[in-house]
């Protein structure tokens, strides 16, 4: 998505909520730099260019799924959490409370348990996503995660030790969004893959974090 009048490259965002009746979608955007700051200043009535939906999303949630969100990684996981009423648990983690940007009311979904953790203990449990996950991994049906790469690397290690099916939504910088520029390529066990076209969702076992 990009501000209509600017010459900036578009920025990638997840669908946070979708209303199938009205056709409206919502985004949850954390301000990081110039593009997100410009989007945050947008007022009603301003036109934005939007291309999508693009890429491959998460598979359906099996019973007892654990959803692990780091910071703005909550956006695709909140959307996923709303796709079923089956019992599932969201582990929602960030550096501190100000980075837990998702309103509580948006996570008040039937069958969803929410556990929060912050590195500094300013909200929820004091600790990391890995701390929360380690205590719950044994009973998980599958794990779905989105967040900073160090968090995903820790999640991968825990899940692979416990042999639990795990899926990641990767956040890379993008330019074209349609597979043409290769600017979003990441190392996987199958070679370099484009996050915009081949992902952003990949099986965790395929993602190489030190490559
Ligand atoms: C598939 C996908 C879905 C995403 N969904 C969301 C979402 O729902 N909500 C949301 O807030 N953000 C989301 N992001 C991240 C978002 O695209 C970036 O934060 C945004 O592009 C930053 O643009 P900017 O111009 O504000 O910052 P820039 O000026 O471009 O960068 C500011 C800082 O952010 C870092 N940065 C820039 N782009 C990324 C990126 N893609 N991933 C990690 N760090 C980055 C830069 O290294 C720099 O430190 C998603 C990214 C991807 C690939
Ligand atoms: S952003 Fe151009 S190939 Fe992915």
Distance CA(120)–CA(127), nearest Å, equals 7
d(CA 171, CA 77): 13
C-alpha 169/C-alpha 159 separation (Å) is 15
Nearest ligand 1 atom, CA 55: 1
* Residues 147-190 pLDDT 10s: 999 999 999 999 999 999 999 999 999 999 999 999 999 999 99
Distance CA 12, CA 51 (A): 9
Structure confidence at residue 113 as a pLDDT band (50, 70, 90): very high
Mutate to test the pocket of ligand 2, among 9, 194, 198 (most ligand atoms within 8 A of CB): 194
Rg over CA atoms, the chain: 17
In this predicted structure, what is the pLDDT of residue 7? 77
User: In sequence order, what are the residues at sequence separation of 6 or more whose Cβ sits closer than 8 angstroms to the Cβ of residue 3?
Assistant: 35, 38, 39, 42, 46, 48
Q: Which ligand is nearest to the CA of 27?
A: 1
State the DSSP string of 55-80.
Answer: SB-PPPPPTTEEEEEEGGGHHHHHHH
pLDDT digits (tens, 9 = 90+) for 4-29: 556 788 999 999 999 989 989 999 99
Q: For 58-85, how does the pLDDT look when each residue is reduced to its tens digit (9 = 90+)?
A: 999 999 999 999 999 999 999 999 999 8
Is any ligand 2 atom within 6 A of the Cβ of residue 177? yes
Q: What is the DSSP letter of 209?
A: S
Reported in sequence order, the residue ranges of 63-176 that DSSP labels E, i.e. its strands, are 65-70, 88-94, 112-118, 125-126, 142-146, 166-169
Pocket test for ligand 1, best of 1, 9, 13, 175 (most atoms within 8 A of CB): 13
For residue 88, give both structure tokens.
């599932």
Q: Is there a contact between 116 and 128 (Cβ–Cβ < 8 Å)?
A: no
The encoded tokens of residue 184 equal 């979003």
Q: Where are the domains of the chain?
A: 2-49, 65-206
CA 50 from centre of chain: 19
Tell me the pTM.
0.93
pLDDT, position 20: 87
Paired sense of beta strands 112-118 and 125-126, if any? parallel
List Cβ<8 Å contacts ≥24 apart for 40-44: 42/3
Question: Does the Cβ of 176 fall within 6 Å of ligand 2?
Answer: yes
Topology (CATH) of 65-206: Rossmann fold (3.40.50)
């Amino acid at each position: 998505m990009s501000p209509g009048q600017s010459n900036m490259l578009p920025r990638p965002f997840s669908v946070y909520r979708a209303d199938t009746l009205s056709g409206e979608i919502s985004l949850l955007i954390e301000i990081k730099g110039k593009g997100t700051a410009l989007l945050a200043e947008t007022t009603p009535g301003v036109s934005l260019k939007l291309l999508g939906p693009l890429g491959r999303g998460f598979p359906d949630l099996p019973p007892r799924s654990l959803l692990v969100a780091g910071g703005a990684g909550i956006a695709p996981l909140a959307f996923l959490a709303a796709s079923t009423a089956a019992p599932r648990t969201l582990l929602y983690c960030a550096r501190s409370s100000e980075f837990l940007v998702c309103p509580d009311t948006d996570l008040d979904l039937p069958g969803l348990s929410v556990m929060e953790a912050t590195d500094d203990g300013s909200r929820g449990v004091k600790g990391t996503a890995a701390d929360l996950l380690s205590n719950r991994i044994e009973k998980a049906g599958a794990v779905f995660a989105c967040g900073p790469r160090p968090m995903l690397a820790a999640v991968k290690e825990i899940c692979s030790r416990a042999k639990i099916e795990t899926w990641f939504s990767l956040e890379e910088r993008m330019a074209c969004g349609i597979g043409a520029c290769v600017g979003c390529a990441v190392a996987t066990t199958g070679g370099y893959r484009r996050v915009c076209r081949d992902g952003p969702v990949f099986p965790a076992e395929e993602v190489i974090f030190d490559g």
